Amino acid sequence: MRESRGRCVRPEEARAWEALVAAARRTVADGLVVGTSGNVSVRVGDTVLVTPSGVPYDRLTPDDVTGVDPDGRQVLGTLVPTSELPMHLAVYRHTDARAVVHTHAVHATAVSTLVPELPLVHYMAAALGGPVRVAPYATYGTDELAENMLRALDGRSGCLLRNHGTLTYGSSLDQAYDRTAQLEWMCRLWLTASSVPGLTPSLLTEGQVEEVAQRLRGYGQRG
């Protein structure tokens, strides 16, 4: 175990950090963020591992583990945690999330400037709990933004942040990331469909999306 601020890094935290860094790098590779924008976190026991502020993801190493307790006190590492820490901690305090992904995805951010809620253009909205809401704008890194986000997340596992980006969470890092990718894809789909002159996209009803939500509960492999 490596020495770090406060205490040693536990084996499960080292493994989670490796997965977190891989996910953060993937947000860049997939075009969901530019530079050091966006951030990723994962909860391991009572410790929340987070990407550090202003550090390019390709420079992060196993020795850069950055972690805080549920109250935001740094317990691992020497790098300053992401400035969006209030949002991440708010999700962990109010949901059963084990991972959070925040991006500045282009299509999703564009949609956040146009509508108060992503139109139901595709049934995969069910994977996020229903119609995806847009949280009102607030300065990044503030408690106000975290509070706006929580209201938009009510009954949902993802939301848009007006003039800012996306936030999704899940029971695993893979699930949180998949929800982010699905959200960005749905936003791109709606923008593409709604840009055709003289035509308006057909939309699903909330009842149709709820029917899909029921089916998704049994989706995938078992055992």
Choose the catalytic residue: 3, 84, 147, 184: 84
100: β partners: 41, 169
**How far apart, in whole angstroms, are the C-alpha atoms of residue 134 and residue 152?**
6
Q: Report the Cα 78 to chain-centroid distance in Å.
A: 24
Angle (deg, nearest 10), helices 85-94 and 143-153: 40
Copy the structure tokens of residue 142. Answer: 């503030």
135: β partners: 161
Copy the structure tokens of residue 199. Answer: 């035509």
Q: Identify whether the C-beta of residue 133 lies closer than 8 Å to the C-beta of residue 159.
A: yes
From the list 211, 219, 201, the residue with the least C-alpha distance to 123 is 211
Give yes or no: 84 in active site.
yes
**How far apart, in whole angstroms, are the C-alpha atoms of residue 18 and residue 180?**
20
What is the secondary structure of 96-124 as a DSSP string?
--SEEEEE--HHHHHHHTT-SB----SGG
Q: Which residues are catalytic?
A: 84
